[in-house]
Structure 1
Amino acid sequence: MKIAELRTIVKGHQKKDLEFLVAEFYKLIPKNKKEDNQIDELITKPVKDKKVSQANKVIRTIEEISGEVKLFHNNAINQNYLFPNSDVPKKDRSKWRFLVKKLVKEINLAAQNGNSRRRCAEELQVLYETLCYACAYETFTAYDPFESVGISQIEFFDQMIKYHRDSMDYKEFIDKGIKLIFNNELNRYTLYSGLMETFINYCQTPNMKEVAIDRSN
């Protein structure tokens, strides 16, 4: 059924029938989808024009985001998302993956809106290294942190290294990229060769590629 047809049909329903349908549809939506798509907020305050809704959304600066990134990192390293503690309430411990998704999205928005690419790269790096740490040490209940967030390790690495390339000279970038590849843990789906291939794609000149390969040996 197309949306236009759906609208035509529901216009003929009585209020009690619409209330019943909304409740039944709500039951069918998985909990993670409700949170990802802010379904509760939409039900509480429906917005017909998505463009208006997006225009009214506050875009935080990278300085505002960095405090939340640091707090997430500290809580993860201290296993506050895993064991009972007074810093992360029990109801929020399983929501760490949604927090990471939100922070990554906000960092990318900040970069698109003129914030420092170097700072955006640094904050993405904190998140990336935290998830890498969780691949080797008991940090979350999830077996694979990257899979839980819904992004592959290579894709996350690619987003981060792109901002580093935009904000560094090539020698600094090469050293940074190699350290990020070999100084961090891998999840079960990732190989060093895959990260290296992604990194080499940002070494645009033959000289850069030669230096990168030489320093990685």
Structure 2
Amino acid sequence: MKVQELRKLLGNAEREHLEKAFVECYKQLRKGQKEEIDSILTMMLEGKAIEQKSVEAPVNFEELEQQIIVFIDNAYAQNYFAPNRTIPKSQRPKWRFMVKNFMKELSKIPLDSNHYERAVKLLTDLYCLICEACNTYLFSTEDPFRSIGWEQPDFFKLLVTKTFANGYSRKNISQLLRYATTGGLSRESLHIQQEMILLSGLRTSDVKYVAIEEAKKLVEEGVGKLASLKKYSSSQYYMNEAVNELCGMIFLITIALAEPESGMEYYFAHSREGDNEITLYCALQLADWVGGDDLWIKVYEYGLSKKIKPRNSLKEEYAIRLGSLKAQD
């Protein structure tokens, strides 16, 4: 609504309702946004005049790009974490503010800018860096995403939006498939969250079919690499996990296309879970994310047709959902 409409609405509201609405709106802000607005709120409530911010001078993209490249190189070298002669000790904790500023400036670059593609590339590099920092100590924090004031799904959504704003291509679809299904996770995130965001970014059926093709290529690539990896090694574990996530992504896309049967068959045929019952369990979890009881039951019964013996909790859940579905009929 417009400011004038908001003023009118506030003028007619009771104090109790105003306070409740204000607090609820404040809760919706991210940590970084709260930090920016706190001083303004304090001044207003104290009856002080708000200082008008001066217009910021446009950032030189070449300089910004170089700053980000140097920052990323230093971060991967752990110069913001371990003692070194490159980054002074007093400057190391400031990495989070640097990332916030980098993201802010990169987000401002319009689609019609000559620098747009390079800006998206830098944004991608920053996302990959923060993901890696979730697996390896690159900064003094247990949750790098939280430290920069961003939830991982929100950062990934920004990346998907910026990437696809410039058009779809097999290259960028494949790239985002890889980022959605692999890489480090914050303490409050799961790959499925990034996968659902990517799924929502695949706007047309044609693009979804391309995504399925690219995901299958990545699965084949991953399976091919497994042969050269040492059995029971961490590399083998992560590769199996990546293949499983990609198979799950294919299943999700086929559900969105109203063709769950093909995705279901592919998932059960290519999943790298060591036990078929676990494969069924994971498939049912995916079905819960995007479908109703009818899809869940279809997946369960497909598992039975494959001679899979579900755990007792799944049998009980099946009976409940089947009964609920029959009651609706």
Distance 1:48 1:150 in 2: 25
Instruction: List structure 1 runs of 4+ shifted beyond 6 angstroms.
Output: none
| Aligned residues of 1:158 and 1:198 also touching (Cα < 8 A) | yes
Question: Quick one: structure 1 residues 67 and 36, their matched pair in 2 at CA, closer, same or farther if it must change by over 3 Å?
Answer: farther
Which residue in 2 is equivalent to 1:49? 52
Structure 2, unmatched stretches of 5+, are: 1-31, 40-49, 216-245, 248-329
Distance 2:111 2:208 in 1: 28
- Show the 5 A alignment for 1:68-217: 68-111=67-110, 114-213=113-212, 215=215, 216-217=246-247
1:210 aligned partner, one-letter code: Y
Distance 2:96 2:191 in 1: 24
Deviation at 1:213, TM superposition (A): 4.0
Distance 1:85 1:193 in 2: 38
Distance 1:112 1:90 in 2: 38
Distance 2:112 2:62 in 1: 13
Distance 1:62 1:184 in 2: 28
Q: Percent identical across equivalent pairs?
A: 29
Deviations 1:108-156 (A, max 9, x none): 1233783532111101011111111110011111100000001011111
Deviations 1:182-214 (A, max 9, x none): 342212211111101111111110222233245
SS at match of 1:94: helix
Distance 1:36 1:83 in 2: 30
Deviation at 1:81, TM superposition (A): 0.9
1:206 aligned partner, one-letter code: S
Distance 2:196 2:134 in 1: 21
| Aligned residues of 1:125 and 1:160 also touching (Cα < 8 A) | yes
Deviation at 1:106, TM superposition (A): 0.8
Question: Quick one: structure 1 residues 61 and 167, their matched pair in 2 at CA, closer, same or farther if it must change by over 3 Å?
Answer: farther
Range with bigger deviation, 146-155 or 80-89: 80-89
SS at match of 1:111: coil
2:194 aligned partner, one-letter code: L
Q: Between Structure 1 and Structure 2, whose CA radius of gyration is higher?
A: 2
1:135 aligned partner, one-letter code: C
Deviation at 1:174, TM superposition (A): 1.5
Q: Structure 1-normalised TM-score?
A: 0.71
| Aligned residues of 2:181 and 2:194 also touching (Cα < 8 A) | no
Q: Structure 2-normalised TM-score?
A: 0.48
Distance 2:112 2:207 in 1: 29
Which residue in 1 is equivalent to 2:44? none
The alignment of Structure 1 onto Structure 2 pairs a total of residues equal to: 174
Structure 1, unmatched stretches of 5+, are: 1-31, 40-46
| Aligned residues of 2:181 and 2:195 also touching (Cα < 8 A) | no
| Aligned residues of 1:200 and 1:212 also touching (Cα < 8 A) | no
SS at match of 2:110: helix
| Aligned residues of 1:80 and 1:87 also touching (Cα < 8 A) | yes
| Aligned residues of 1:82 and 1:140 also touching (Cα < 8 A) | yes
Distance 2:135 2:141 in 1: 12
Question: Quick one: structure 1 residues 36 and 74, their matched pair in 2 at CA, closer, same or farther if it must change by over 3 Å?
Answer: farther
